[in-house]
Structure 1
Protein backbone atom coordinates (compact mmCIF):
# COMPACT_ATOMS: atom_id res chain seq x y z
CA UNK A 1 0.00 0.00 0.00
CA UNK A 2 2.81 2.38 0.94
CA UNK A 3 4.52 1.65 -2.40
CA UNK A 4 1.36 2.49 -4.38
CA UNK A 5 0.97 5.83 -2.57
CA UNK A 6 4.64 6.64 -3.20
CA UNK A 7 4.27 5.98 -6.95
CA UNK A 8 1.04 8.01 -7.06
CA UNK A 9 2.76 10.96 -5.36
CA UNK A 10 5.67 10.94 -7.80
CA UNK A 11 3.25 10.87 -10.75
CA UNK A 12 1.34 13.89 -9.44
CA UNK A 13 4.60 15.81 -8.93
CA UNK A 14 5.71 15.09 -12.49
CA UNK A 15 2.35 16.26 -13.87
CA UNK A 16 2.65 19.54 -11.96
CA UNK A 17 6.18 20.17 -13.27
CA UNK A 18 5.11 19.54 -16.90
CA UNK A 19 2.08 21.79 -16.47
CA UNK A 20 4.17 24.66 -15.07
CA UNK A 21 6.82 24.26 -17.76
CA UNK A 22 4.26 24.48 -20.55
CA UNK A 23 3.30 28.00 -19.47
CA UNK A 24 6.87 29.39 -19.28
CA UNK A 25 7.78 31.72 -22.15
CA UNK A 26 10.94 30.73 -24.02
CA UNK A 27 13.89 33.06 -23.50
CA UNK A 28 13.93 34.03 -27.16
CA UNK A 29 10.42 35.52 -26.88
CA UNK A 30 11.26 37.83 -23.97
CA UNK A 31 11.48 41.37 -25.33
CA UNK A 32 13.67 44.17 -24.06
CA UNK A 33 11.74 47.06 -22.50
CA UNK A 34 11.21 50.00 -24.89
CA UNK A 35 13.84 52.73 -24.76
CA UNK A 36 12.92 55.77 -22.69
CA UNK A 37 13.88 59.27 -23.75
CA UNK A 38 15.23 61.04 -20.70
CA UNK A 39 14.34 64.69 -20.09
CA UNK A 40 16.51 65.15 -16.99
CA UNK A 41 19.83 63.95 -15.61
CA UNK A 42 20.71 63.92 -11.92
CA UNK A 43 24.37 64.73 -11.40
CA UNK A 44 26.43 62.00 -9.72
CA UNK A 45 29.89 62.18 -8.16
CA UNK A 46 32.49 62.29 -10.93
CA UNK A 47 30.14 63.88 -13.49
CA UNK A 48 31.12 67.06 -15.30
CA UNK A 49 29.00 69.15 -17.65
CA UNK A 50 31.22 67.93 -20.49
CA UNK A 51 30.83 64.23 -19.61
CA UNK A 52 27.05 64.58 -19.30
CA UNK A 53 26.85 66.35 -22.67
CA UNK A 54 29.03 63.60 -24.15
CA UNK A 55 26.81 60.85 -22.72
CA UNK A 56 23.66 62.25 -24.30
CA UNK A 57 25.20 63.50 -27.54
CA UNK A 58 24.64 67.17 -26.65
CA UNK A 59 26.68 70.29 -27.36
CA UNK A 60 28.10 71.29 -23.97
CA UNK A 61 27.29 74.95 -24.70
CA UNK A 62 23.67 74.16 -25.41
CA UNK A 63 23.39 72.04 -22.24
CA UNK A 64 24.91 74.87 -20.21
CA UNK A 65 22.58 77.47 -21.73
CA UNK A 66 19.55 75.22 -21.22
CA UNK A 67 20.31 75.07 -17.50
CA UNK A 68 21.57 78.64 -17.05
CA UNK A 69 25.11 77.50 -16.22
CA UNK A 70 27.99 79.85 -17.01
CA UNK A 71 31.65 79.05 -17.66
CA UNK A 72 33.56 77.35 -16.01
CA UNK A 73 30.42 75.14 -15.92
CA UNK A 74 30.54 74.02 -12.28
CA UNK A 75 27.90 71.47 -11.25
CA UNK A 76 27.33 69.48 -8.05
CA UNK A 77 26.07 65.97 -7.08
CA UNK A 78 22.30 65.83 -6.79
CA UNK A 79 21.76 68.73 -9.20
CA UNK A 80 19.00 68.06 -11.75
CA UNK A 81 19.85 69.12 -15.29
CA UNK A 82 17.38 69.55 -18.13
CA UNK A 83 18.30 67.62 -21.28
CA UNK A 84 15.48 68.89 -23.52
CA UNK A 85 13.52 72.09 -24.01
CA UNK A 86 14.09 75.57 -25.35
CA UNK A 87 17.00 77.69 -24.26
CA UNK A 88 15.75 80.79 -22.39
CA UNK A 89 16.52 84.02 -24.35
CA UNK A 90 18.53 85.41 -21.41
CA UNK A 91 20.59 82.23 -21.14
CA UNK A 92 21.29 82.06 -24.87
CA UNK A 93 22.64 85.61 -24.79
CA UNK A 94 25.02 84.67 -21.95
CA UNK A 95 26.17 81.40 -23.51
CA UNK A 96 25.90 81.89 -27.29
CA UNK A 97 25.93 78.83 -29.51
CA UNK A 98 27.83 79.05 -32.76
CA UNK A 99 25.63 78.89 -35.84
CA UNK A 100 26.15 75.93 -38.10
CA UNK A 101 26.94 78.19 -41.05
CA UNK A 102 30.00 79.61 -39.29
CA UNK A 103 31.57 76.22 -38.53
CA UNK A 104 34.59 75.46 -40.67
CA UNK A 105 34.44 72.26 -42.66
CA UNK A 106 37.32 69.79 -42.94
CA UNK A 107 39.61 70.53 -45.86
CA UNK A 108 39.31 67.66 -48.29
CA UNK A 109 42.49 66.15 -49.66
CA UNK A 110 43.08 65.27 -53.29
CA UNK A 111 41.96 61.73 -52.51
CA UNK A 112 39.21 61.82 -49.87
CA UNK A 113 39.21 59.07 -47.25
CA UNK A 114 35.78 57.95 -48.45
CA UNK A 115 37.23 56.92 -51.82
CA UNK A 116 40.30 55.18 -50.45
CA UNK A 117 40.55 51.42 -50.61
CA UNK A 118 39.51 49.37 -47.61
CA UNK A 119 43.00 47.94 -47.30
CA UNK A 120 44.59 51.39 -46.95
CA UNK A 121 42.36 52.24 -43.97
CA UNK A 122 42.90 49.12 -41.90
CA UNK A 123 46.11 50.27 -40.30
CA UNK A 124 47.78 53.50 -39.24
CA UNK A 125 51.34 53.03 -40.57
CA UNK A 126 54.24 54.21 -38.44
CA UNK A 127 55.12 56.92 -40.96
CA UNK A 128 51.57 58.37 -40.66
CA UNK A 129 51.80 58.80 -36.89
CA UNK A 130 53.69 62.09 -37.28
CA UNK A 131 51.58 63.34 -40.20
CA UNK A 132 48.77 65.83 -39.65
CA UNK A 133 45.62 66.89 -41.47
CA UNK A 134 44.01 70.29 -41.04
CA UNK A 135 40.30 70.73 -40.30
CA UNK A 136 39.54 74.41 -39.84
CA UNK A 137 42.18 75.69 -37.42
CA UNK A 138 42.96 72.21 -36.03
CA UNK A 139 45.63 69.79 -37.20
CA UNK A 140 44.77 66.16 -36.44
CA UNK A 141 47.11 63.18 -36.15
CA UNK A 142 46.66 59.49 -35.33
CA UNK A 143 46.45 58.87 -31.56
CA UNK A 144 47.96 55.39 -31.74
CA UNK A 145 49.49 52.99 -34.26
CA UNK A 146 47.63 49.73 -34.84
CA UNK A 147 45.06 47.68 -36.69
CA UNK A 148 41.71 49.39 -37.30
CA UNK A 149 39.20 46.82 -36.02
CA UNK A 150 35.97 48.84 -35.98
CA UNK A 151 34.82 51.85 -37.99
CA UNK A 152 32.41 54.69 -37.45
CA UNK A 153 28.82 54.15 -38.52
CA UNK A 154 26.41 57.07 -38.48
CA UNK A 155 23.36 56.44 -36.29
CA UNK A 156 24.84 53.34 -34.62
CA UNK A 157 25.17 53.99 -30.85
CA UNK A 158 27.84 51.30 -30.62
CA UNK A 159 30.02 52.73 -33.40
CA UNK A 160 30.42 56.42 -32.63
CA UNK A 161 34.13 56.30 -33.41
CA UNK A 162 36.91 53.91 -34.43
CA UNK A 163 38.61 51.10 -32.50
CA UNK A 164 42.35 50.59 -32.94
CA UNK A 165 43.97 47.41 -31.60
CA UNK A 166 47.23 47.62 -29.68
CA UNK A 167 49.37 46.28 -26.85
CA UNK A 168 48.71 46.97 -23.18
CA UNK A 169 50.77 49.93 -22.02
CA UNK A 170 51.32 51.29 -25.52
CA UNK A 171 51.41 55.08 -25.75
CA UNK A 172 48.17 56.94 -26.54
CA UNK A 173 48.91 60.37 -28.01
CA UNK A 174 46.83 63.53 -28.14
CA UNK A 175 45.34 63.82 -31.63
CA UNK A 176 45.59 67.63 -31.55
CA UNK A 177 46.41 70.53 -29.24
CA UNK A 178 43.82 71.09 -26.55
CA UNK A 179 42.72 71.03 -22.91
CA UNK A 180 41.70 67.92 -20.96
CA UNK A 181 38.10 68.50 -19.84
CA UNK A 182 37.39 65.00 -18.49
CA UNK A 183 39.59 62.30 -16.96
CA UNK A 184 37.87 59.42 -15.23
CA UNK A 185 35.75 56.28 -15.52
CA UNK A 186 32.23 57.49 -14.73
CA UNK A 187 30.92 57.11 -18.29
CA UNK A 188 29.58 53.59 -18.67
CA UNK A 189 31.05 51.63 -21.58
CA UNK A 190 34.15 53.81 -21.98
CA UNK A 191 36.38 52.49 -19.20
CA UNK A 192 39.16 54.91 -18.23
CA UNK A 193 38.39 57.86 -20.46
CA UNK A 194 39.96 61.16 -21.51
CA UNK A 195 38.06 63.92 -23.31
CA UNK A 196 40.05 66.76 -24.85
CA UNK A 197 38.59 70.09 -25.95
CA UNK A 198 40.29 71.45 -29.06
CA UNK A 199 37.96 74.40 -29.77
CA UNK A 200 34.39 75.50 -29.12
CA UNK A 201 33.39 73.11 -31.92
CA UNK A 202 35.63 70.04 -31.65
CA UNK A 203 36.22 67.53 -28.85
CA UNK A 204 38.02 64.17 -28.97
CA UNK A 205 37.84 61.11 -26.69
CA UNK A 206 40.27 58.30 -25.84
CA UNK A 207 38.61 55.31 -24.14
CA UNK A 208 39.49 51.92 -22.54
CA UNK A 209 42.88 53.14 -21.32
CA UNK A 210 44.98 51.14 -18.86
CA UNK A 211 46.28 54.30 -17.19
CA UNK A 212 45.58 58.03 -17.57
CA UNK A 213 48.69 60.24 -17.59
CA UNK A 214 47.05 63.68 -17.56
CA UNK A 215 44.44 65.34 -15.35
CA UNK A 216 41.43 67.57 -15.98
CA UNK A 217 42.58 71.06 -16.84
CA UNK A 218 45.90 69.91 -18.33
CA UNK A 219 47.03 71.59 -21.56
CA UNK A 220 48.22 69.03 -24.09
CA UNK A 221 50.05 69.23 -27.40
CA UNK A 222 49.47 67.09 -30.49
CA UNK A 223 51.58 63.96 -30.18
CA UNK A 224 51.95 64.24 -26.40
CA UNK A 225 51.65 60.96 -24.45
CA UNK A 226 48.40 61.25 -22.48
CA UNK A 227 47.51 57.64 -21.60
CA UNK A 228 48.49 53.99 -21.80
CA UNK A 229 46.43 51.73 -24.04
CA UNK A 230 44.45 49.02 -22.23
CA UNK A 231 41.19 47.10 -21.93
CA UNK A 232 39.24 48.92 -19.21
CA UNK A 233 35.52 48.59 -19.88
CA UNK A 234 36.03 46.13 -22.75
CA UNK A 235 37.25 42.61 -23.53
CA UNK A 236 40.49 43.33 -25.39
CA UNK A 237 43.35 45.81 -25.56
CA UNK A 238 42.34 48.65 -27.87
CA UNK A 239 41.84 52.39 -28.11
CA UNK A 240 38.34 53.64 -28.83
CA UNK A 241 38.74 57.08 -30.43
CA UNK A 242 35.97 59.58 -31.13
CA UNK A 243 35.70 63.08 -32.54
CA UNK A 244 32.62 65.19 -31.74
CA UNK A 245 31.63 68.28 -33.75
CA UNK A 246 29.13 70.52 -31.94
CA UNK A 247 28.35 67.58 -29.68
CA UNK A 248 27.65 65.12 -32.50
CA UNK A 249 29.87 62.12 -33.41
CA UNK A 250 31.65 62.40 -36.75
CA UNK A 251 33.79 59.91 -38.65
CA UNK A 252 37.39 60.23 -37.37
CA UNK A 253 38.70 58.87 -40.66
CA UNK A 254 37.52 62.07 -42.38
CA UNK A 255 39.88 64.05 -40.12
CA UNK A 256 42.91 61.79 -39.61
CA UNK A 257 45.71 61.88 -42.20
Structure 2
Protein backbone atom coordinates (compact mmCIF):
# COMPACT_ATOMS: atom_id res chain seq x y z
CA UNK A 1 0.00 0.00 0.00
CA UNK A 2 2.81 2.41 0.92
CA UNK A 3 4.64 1.60 -2.31
CA UNK A 4 1.48 2.20 -4.36
CA UNK A 5 0.98 5.59 -2.67
CA UNK A 6 4.63 6.50 -3.31
CA UNK A 7 4.33 5.64 -7.03
CA UNK A 8 1.12 7.66 -7.29
CA UNK A 9 2.78 10.69 -5.70
CA UNK A 10 5.76 10.41 -8.02
CA UNK A 11 3.42 10.26 -11.01
CA UNK A 12 1.59 13.40 -9.89
CA UNK A 13 4.90 15.16 -9.28
CA UNK A 14 5.95 14.32 -12.83
CA UNK A 15 2.72 15.77 -14.22
CA UNK A 16 3.17 18.97 -12.22
CA UNK A 17 6.75 19.27 -13.42
CA UNK A 18 5.46 18.82 -16.97
CA UNK A 19 3.20 21.85 -16.61
CA UNK A 20 5.75 23.92 -14.73
CA UNK A 21 8.44 23.31 -17.32
CA UNK A 22 6.15 24.49 -20.14
CA UNK A 23 7.30 21.64 -22.36
CA UNK A 24 10.71 20.00 -22.33
CA UNK A 25 11.16 18.86 -25.93
CA UNK A 26 14.63 19.52 -27.40
CA UNK A 27 15.09 22.77 -29.30
CA UNK A 28 16.78 23.13 -32.67
CA UNK A 29 20.33 24.33 -33.38
CA UNK A 30 20.77 28.00 -32.62
CA UNK A 31 18.21 28.02 -29.80
CA UNK A 32 18.38 27.52 -26.05
CA UNK A 33 15.66 26.61 -23.52
CA UNK A 34 15.95 28.54 -20.25
CA UNK A 35 16.63 26.38 -17.20
CA UNK A 36 16.23 27.10 -13.50
CA UNK A 37 19.00 29.42 -12.28
CA UNK A 38 19.79 30.84 -15.72
CA UNK A 39 20.37 34.54 -16.33
CA UNK A 40 20.70 36.25 -19.67
CA UNK A 41 24.37 36.95 -18.95
CA UNK A 42 25.00 33.28 -18.19
CA UNK A 43 23.21 32.18 -21.38
CA UNK A 44 25.15 34.74 -23.44
CA UNK A 45 28.49 33.57 -22.03
CA UNK A 46 27.61 29.92 -22.57
CA UNK A 47 26.80 30.58 -26.22
CA UNK A 48 29.64 33.09 -26.80
CA UNK A 49 27.33 35.95 -27.61
CA UNK A 50 26.67 39.36 -26.13
CA UNK A 51 23.64 40.06 -23.97
CA UNK A 52 22.71 42.86 -26.38
CA UNK A 53 22.56 40.46 -29.33
CA UNK A 54 20.32 37.99 -27.52
CA UNK A 55 18.05 40.82 -26.36
CA UNK A 56 17.79 42.11 -29.95
CA UNK A 57 17.30 38.72 -31.63
CA UNK A 58 14.51 37.78 -29.19
CA UNK A 59 12.94 41.27 -28.97
CA UNK A 60 13.12 41.13 -25.17
CA UNK A 61 11.58 44.15 -23.48
CA UNK A 62 13.00 43.27 -20.06
CA UNK A 63 16.37 41.45 -20.11
CA UNK A 64 16.02 40.73 -16.38
CA UNK A 65 12.78 38.80 -16.87
CA UNK A 66 13.22 35.40 -18.52
CA UNK A 67 11.21 32.32 -17.59
CA UNK A 68 12.08 28.67 -17.08
CA UNK A 69 11.15 26.84 -20.29
CA UNK A 70 11.36 29.95 -22.47
CA UNK A 71 13.13 29.36 -25.79
CA UNK A 72 15.71 31.95 -26.86
CA UNK A 73 17.55 32.43 -30.14
CA UNK A 74 21.29 32.36 -29.44
CA UNK A 75 22.64 32.61 -33.00
CA UNK A 76 22.01 35.39 -35.55
CA UNK A 77 18.68 35.15 -37.41
CA UNK A 78 19.14 33.45 -40.77
CA UNK A 79 22.82 32.85 -40.01
CA UNK A 80 23.69 36.56 -40.42
CA UNK A 81 26.78 37.75 -38.61
CA UNK A 82 26.14 39.39 -35.24
CA UNK A 83 27.48 42.83 -34.41
CA UNK A 84 29.99 41.43 -31.96
CA UNK A 85 30.64 38.27 -33.99
CA UNK A 86 30.11 34.70 -32.85
CA UNK A 87 33.34 33.32 -31.38
CA UNK A 88 34.72 29.89 -32.19
CA UNK A 89 36.58 27.88 -29.57
CA UNK A 90 39.86 29.00 -31.14
CA UNK A 91 38.95 32.64 -30.52
CA UNK A 92 38.43 33.77 -34.14
CA UNK A 93 35.23 35.28 -35.49
CA UNK A 94 32.92 32.79 -37.18
CA UNK A 95 31.75 33.65 -40.67
CA UNK A 96 28.09 33.95 -41.50
CA UNK A 97 28.26 30.82 -43.65
CA UNK A 98 29.73 28.83 -40.76
CA UNK A 99 26.90 29.72 -38.40
CA UNK A 100 24.39 26.88 -37.95
CA UNK A 101 21.02 27.47 -39.53
CA UNK A 102 18.57 27.80 -36.65
CA UNK A 103 15.38 25.78 -36.44
CA UNK A 104 12.14 27.49 -35.42
CA UNK A 105 11.83 27.94 -31.68
CA UNK A 106 9.75 25.31 -29.88
CA UNK A 107 8.98 23.75 -33.25
CA UNK A 108 6.02 21.46 -33.78
CA UNK A 109 6.27 17.70 -33.15
CA UNK A 110 7.64 15.60 -36.01
CA UNK A 111 4.17 14.27 -36.69
CA UNK A 112 1.06 16.44 -36.61
CA UNK A 113 -1.15 15.91 -33.54
CA UNK A 114 -3.95 13.43 -34.05
CA UNK A 115 -7.35 15.12 -33.79
CA UNK A 116 -9.16 15.19 -30.47
CA UNK A 117 -12.81 16.15 -30.07
CA UNK A 118 -13.26 18.76 -27.34
CA UNK A 119 -16.18 20.73 -25.93
CA UNK A 120 -15.77 24.12 -24.29
CA UNK A 121 -14.85 23.59 -20.64
CA UNK A 122 -16.86 26.62 -19.47
CA UNK A 123 -19.21 29.33 -20.64
CA UNK A 124 -17.72 32.80 -20.54
CA UNK A 125 -15.50 35.25 -22.36
CA UNK A 126 -12.05 34.32 -23.64
CA UNK A 127 -9.91 37.26 -22.56
CA UNK A 128 -6.48 35.75 -23.16
CA UNK A 129 -5.51 33.41 -25.96
CA UNK A 130 -2.71 30.92 -26.50
CA UNK A 131 0.57 32.35 -27.77
CA UNK A 132 2.96 29.50 -26.94
CA UNK A 133 5.14 31.83 -24.86
CA UNK A 134 3.65 33.69 -21.94
CA UNK A 135 0.27 32.02 -22.39
CA UNK A 136 0.27 28.22 -22.59
CA UNK A 137 -3.51 27.97 -22.86
CA UNK A 138 -6.63 30.13 -22.91
CA UNK A 139 -8.22 32.12 -20.08
CA UNK A 140 -12.00 32.28 -19.75
CA UNK A 141 -13.78 34.72 -17.43
CA UNK A 142 -17.26 34.30 -15.96
CA UNK A 143 -19.02 34.52 -12.60
CA UNK A 144 -17.66 32.68 -9.59
CA UNK A 145 -19.21 29.22 -9.40
CA UNK A 146 -19.68 28.84 -13.17
CA UNK A 147 -19.57 25.08 -13.93
CA UNK A 148 -16.34 23.69 -15.36
CA UNK A 149 -16.82 20.53 -17.44
CA UNK A 150 -14.47 17.91 -18.85
CA UNK A 151 -13.55 18.89 -22.39
CA UNK A 152 -13.20 15.21 -23.37
CA UNK A 153 -13.63 11.85 -21.67
CA UNK A 154 -10.69 10.70 -19.60
CA UNK A 155 -9.22 9.96 -16.20
CA UNK A 156 -8.37 12.40 -13.43
CA UNK A 157 -4.62 12.11 -12.90
CA UNK A 158 -4.23 15.13 -10.60
CA UNK A 159 -6.56 17.02 -8.29
CA UNK A 160 -5.00 19.49 -5.88
CA UNK A 161 -3.17 22.76 -5.38
CA UNK A 162 0.46 21.69 -5.37
CA UNK A 163 1.59 23.76 -8.35
CA UNK A 164 2.18 27.42 -7.62
CA UNK A 165 0.35 29.76 -9.97
CA UNK A 166 -2.41 27.28 -10.86
CA UNK A 167 -4.51 27.29 -7.68
CA UNK A 168 -6.94 24.39 -7.36
CA UNK A 169 -5.96 22.36 -10.40
CA UNK A 170 -7.35 19.36 -12.26
CA UNK A 171 -5.44 17.41 -14.90
CA UNK A 172 -7.25 14.88 -17.10
CA UNK A 173 -5.52 12.26 -19.21
CA UNK A 174 -7.50 11.45 -22.33
CA UNK A 175 -5.24 8.96 -24.09
CA UNK A 176 -1.53 8.27 -24.56
CA UNK A 177 -1.01 11.67 -26.20
CA UNK A 178 -3.40 14.21 -24.71
CA UNK A 179 -3.86 15.92 -21.34
CA UNK A 180 -6.06 18.85 -20.39
CA UNK A 181 -5.55 21.10 -17.36
CA UNK A 182 -8.13 23.25 -15.54
CA UNK A 183 -6.74 25.86 -13.13
CA UNK A 184 -7.91 28.39 -10.48
CA UNK A 185 -11.07 26.46 -9.56
CA UNK A 186 -13.17 27.38 -6.52
CA UNK A 187 -14.18 23.79 -5.89
CA UNK A 188 -13.25 20.38 -7.32
CA UNK A 189 -15.87 17.65 -7.76
CA UNK A 190 -13.75 14.72 -8.94
CA UNK A 191 -10.86 12.82 -7.42
CA UNK A 192 -7.65 11.30 -8.74
CA UNK A 193 -8.27 8.00 -10.49
CA UNK A 194 -11.88 8.83 -11.32
CA UNK A 195 -13.14 8.42 -14.89
CA UNK A 196 -15.11 11.32 -16.34
CA UNK A 197 -17.28 11.82 -19.41
CA UNK A 198 -17.19 14.67 -21.92
CA UNK A 199 -19.35 17.51 -20.57
CA UNK A 200 -19.39 16.19 -16.98
CA UNK A 201 -19.13 18.87 -14.30
CA UNK A 202 -15.73 18.53 -12.64
CA UNK A 203 -15.25 21.88 -10.89
CA UNK A 204 -16.53 25.41 -10.35
CA UNK A 205 -14.80 28.55 -11.57
CA UNK A 206 -12.92 30.53 -8.97
CA UNK A 207 -9.94 32.76 -8.33
CA UNK A 208 -7.50 30.56 -6.40
CA UNK A 209 -3.92 31.74 -6.89
CA UNK A 210 -4.96 34.51 -9.30
CA UNK A 211 -6.39 38.03 -9.07
CA UNK A 212 -9.68 37.46 -10.90
CA UNK A 213 -12.35 34.81 -11.38
CA UNK A 214 -11.31 32.73 -14.37
CA UNK A 215 -10.53 29.33 -15.85
CA UNK A 216 -7.06 28.79 -17.25
CA UNK A 217 -7.40 25.87 -19.68
CA UNK A 218 -4.48 24.04 -21.27
CA UNK A 219 -4.24 21.29 -23.87
CA UNK A 220 -1.04 19.21 -23.99
CA UNK A 221 0.02 16.89 -26.80
CA UNK A 222 2.89 14.53 -25.89
CA UNK A 223 3.82 16.93 -23.10
CA UNK A 224 3.84 20.06 -25.28
CA UNK A 225 1.30 22.83 -24.95
CA UNK A 226 -0.75 23.41 -28.10
CA UNK A 227 -3.50 25.89 -28.89
CA UNK A 228 -6.79 24.47 -27.53
CA UNK A 229 -8.81 26.92 -29.63
CA UNK A 230 -7.92 24.92 -32.74
CA UNK A 231 -9.57 21.82 -31.28
CA UNK A 232 -12.62 23.53 -29.76
CA UNK A 233 -15.86 24.01 -31.75
CA UNK A 234 -16.61 27.56 -32.96
CA UNK A 235 -18.92 29.63 -30.82
State whether TM-score is above 0.5: yes
Match in the other structure for 1:154: 132
8 Å CA contact retained: 2:219, 2:226: yes
Q: 1-side partners of 2:110 and 2:213: how far apart?
A: 39
Q: 2-side partners of 1:104 and 1:231: how far apart?
A: 32
Among 193, 200, 216, the residue aligned to 1:217: 193
8 Å CA contact retained: 2:23, 2:225: no
How far does the alpha carbon of each residue in 1:172-193 deviate from its partner, in whole angstroms, 9 at most, with x for none? Answer: 0000000011101011100000
Q: Say which SS state the counterpart of residue 48 (structure 1) adopts.
A: helix
Match in the other structure for 1:51: 16
How far does the alpha carbon of each residue in 1:220-252 deviate from its partner, in whole angstroms, 9 at most, with x for none? Answer: 000000001100011111101000111111111
8 Å CA contact retained: 1:148, 1:164: yes
Q: Please say which structure displays the higher CA radius of gyration.
A: 1
- 1:139-150, aligned counterparts within 5 Å? 139-150=117-128
Q: 2-side partners of 1:242 and 1:140: how far apart?
A: 12
The CA RMSD over aligned residues, in Å, is 2.4
Q: Residue 169 of structure 1: CA displacement?
A: 1.0
Matched, 1:231 2:207: yes
Gapped runs of 5+ residues in structure 2?
Answer: 1-8, 26-108
Q: 1-side partners of 2:112 and 2:153: how far apart?
A: 18
Q: 1-side partners of 2:140 and 2:223: how far apart?
A: 22
8 Å CA contact retained: 1:141, 1:223: yes
Judged with a 3 Å threshold, the aligned counterparts in structure 2 of structure 1 residues 46 and 197 are, in CA distance, closer, same or farther, namely: closer
Q: Say which SS state the counterpart of residue 16 (structure 2) adopts.
A: helix
Matched, 1:186 2:162: yes
8 Å CA contact retained: 1:161, 1:241: yes
TM-score by length of 1: 0.52
Q: Say which SS state the counterpart of residue 120 (structure 2) adopts.
A: coil
Judged with a 3 Å threshold, the aligned counterparts in structure 2 of structure 1 residues 250 and 102 are, in CA distance, closer, same or farther, namely: closer
TM-score by length of 2: 0.56
Judged with a 3 Å threshold, the aligned counterparts in structure 2 of structure 1 residues 212 and 155 are, in CA distance, closer, same or farther, namely: same
Judged with a 3 Å threshold, the aligned counterparts in structure 2 of structure 1 residues 59 and 182 are, in CA distance, closer, same or farther, namely: farther
Q: 1-side partners of 2:10 and 2:224: how far apart?
A: 25
How far does the alpha carbon of each residue in 1:109-165 deviate from its partner, in whole angstroms, 9 at most, with x for none? Answer: xxxxxxxxxxxxxxxxxxxxxxxxxx2xx3210000111110111222xx1100000
8 Å CA contact retained: 1:47, 1:186: no
Question: Aligned pair count?
Answer: 143
How far does the alpha carbon of each residue in 1:34-81 deviate from its partner, in whole angstroms, 9 at most, with x for none? Answer: xxxxxxxxxx99952222222223479xxxxxxxxxxxxxxxxxxxxx
Q: 2-side partners of 1:103 and 1:201: how far apart?
A: 12
Greater share of helix: 1
8 Å CA contact retained: 1:46, 1:186: no
